[in-house]
Structure 1
Amino acid sequence: MQIKILGSGCANCKKLEANAKEAVKELGVEAEVIKVEDFKDIMKYGVMRTPAIVINEKVKMFGKVCTVEEIKNYIKDEMK
């Protein structure tokens, strides 16, 4: 599983990355968490507001920091 955090590296982006890593740890799943900071790459996902989270190339949320529980639910949805 691949989880991408889209954002410029601001405090909210860092918090979302930390929450994603915690969600992966709590679920005990194999996942790679990748930071995407290049705006050209971010625009490819059609995201207009950051931070955003992309799991297996699907945008799950943008414009806010997801909680660990929300991210765990996104991960579980991708495992179905």
Structure 2
Amino acid sequence: MKQVKVLGSGCKNCETTARIITEQAQQLGVEIELEKVTDMAQIMGYGVMSTPGVVVDGQVVHAGGLPSAADVVKWLAA
């Protein structure tokens, strides 16, 4: 199971990012545990200054703007 965190304030882009990740995981048949992190101190602890940020298994893989579905597939397949 992959541990995925979406870092952000809960804005529209953050919600869309979480939805894209969930949809791609379902299509790939990959089990994920998705957590939304809204605490700015925690977000900055990852070194993310631009949201939404995405952390997969403890590693920051994305920061700022919406990720593409292809990017999400790469993160989940790794």
Query: Equivalent residue for 1:26?
Result: 27
Structure 1 outlier segments of 4+, above 3 Å: none
> 2:3 matched to 1:2?
yes
Matches within 5 A, 1:1-80: 1-77=2-78
Aligned-residue offset at 1:50: 0.3
Aligned-residue offset at 1:76: 1.2
**CA displacement, residues 28-79 of structure 1 (integer Å, 9 cap, x when unaligned):** 01111110000011011000000011000100010111122210111112xx
Identity of aligned residues (%): 38
Aligned residue pairs: how many? 77
CA contact (8 A) 1:22 1:68 kept: no
TM-score scaled to structure 1, two decimals?
A: 0.91
CA RMSD after TM alignment: 0.8
Consecutive unaligned residues in structure 2, runs of 5 or more: none
